[in-house]
Amino acid sequence: MPDLHGKTALVTGAGRGIGAAIALDLARAGADVVINYSRSQAQAAEVQKAIQSLGQRAMTVQADVSQKTQIDRMFDQIEGAWGPVDILVNNAGIEFRKPVREITEELYDQVMDTNLKGAFFCAQRALEGMKQKGWGRVINISSVHEITPTGFCCVYSMSKGGMRLMMRELALEYSRFGITVNNVAPGAIRTDINREVLSDPAYEAKVISKIPAGFIGMPEDVSKMVVFLASDEARYITGAVILIDGGLGLR
């Protein structure tokens, strides 16, 4: 496993699902981890305990990343306690399964503000500290739907498509400072957010039929790649999209 001892990582939306798996695997690699959550306080506390049981420092910080004022407060708290963030994982995200005609302005703003605006302003805040250190990692948890439409949430795809170009812009500007910026783009993953739709056997079979690998992934399939990208072993990878989708994006 890559060695991340001495590094401080912030994972947004880390109370459950993919975010929790990422936080735990970063800690297993030696990083101290900040677990950001918006509403899942109890779950974030469980992740914190699990990380501490591994012998690493862990801190929970509540912040709604759709609000820049809360992002700034979160970074002030982290930097005051532990110093600048070395590894930022922009994982927080939401989606609504609605046809275009049912997307209200409120729903549009919620998705775009959480998925794209939040990722941008978290990166903006982290990048300056990374630049001063001459080392940093920004890893965005995007989606296979940054390159292919969902068929069920237009605004979600729009937000992830924006994340792809945001990543490329940041990589172009900051890679010369020892900072890499990449997207990890999962396909169908068994998480809390997907549990309800995947509980329908017919729908699950339909999803699997579209995946060349023939199965639905687990959060750990994503988290292992994040740890690799966060390490010095991936120092020459920047501006890249890593699809973790069992081949779903090939369709």
Is 19 among the domain residues? Answer: yes
124 versus 251: the higher-pLDDT residue is 124
Nearest to 159 by CA among 53, 69, 66: 66
Please state, in angstroms and rounded to a whole number, the distance separating the CA atoms of residues 131 and 112.
27
Considering only CA atoms, which of 29, 33, 31, 28 is closest in space to residue 12? 33
Give the C-alpha separation, 239 to 68, whole Å.
Answer: 25
Concatenated DSSP letters for 20-65? HHHHHHHHHTT-EEEEEESS-HHHHHHHHHHHHHTT--EEEEE--T
State the residue range of the domain holding 162: 8-246
Which residue of the set 37, 156, 203, 236 is catalytic? Answer: 156
On whether residue 215 sits in a domain, the answer given is yes
Average pLDDT rounded to a whole number, residues 219-247? 98
What's the pLDDT score for residue 1?
A: 74
3 assigned to some structural domain: no
How would residue 151 be classed by pLDDT, with cut points 50, 70 and 90? confident
pLDDT tens-digit map of 173-220: 999 999 999 999 999 999 877 777 788 889 899 999 999 999 999 999
What is the rounded average pLDDT of the residues 17-25?
Answer: 98
Identify the pLDDT of residue 196. Answer: 76
Catalytic annotation on 174?
no
Tell me how far CA of residue 242 lies from CA of 146, 174, 221, 224, in angstroms: 11, 19, 12, 12
Residue 1: inside a domain = no
Confidence check: pLDDT of 228 > 90: yes
**Would you say residue 167 has pLDDT above 80?**
yes
2 located within any domain? no
Average pLDDT over residues 116-120: 98
How confident is the prediction for the chain on average, in pLDDT?
96
pLDDT at residue 41, rounded to an integer: 94
In the structure, what pLDDT confidence band is assigned to residue 238 with cuts at 50, 70 and 90? Answer: very high
CA 86-188-247 angle, 5° bins: 95
pLDDT of residue 231: 98
Give me the helix-helix angle, 219-230 and 17-28, nearest 10°: 50
CA distances from 213 to 28, 108, 145, 152, 186 (A): 28, 33, 18, 22, 14
pLDDT at residue number 195:
75
Higher pLDDT, 97 or 53: 53
48, part of any domain? yes
**Mean pLDDT lowest among 47-51, 95-99, 133-137:** 95-99
CATH number at residue 148: 3.40.50.720
Total domains in the fold of the chain: 1
Is the pLDDT at 42 greater than 90? The verdict is: yes
Does 135 reside within a domain? yes
- Give me the phi and psi of 140, to 5 degrees please: -95, 130
Reported pTM: 0.96
Say which amino acid occupies 136.
G
How far apart are alpha carbons 57 and 34 in whole angstroms?
8
Q: For residue 39, is it within any domain?
A: yes
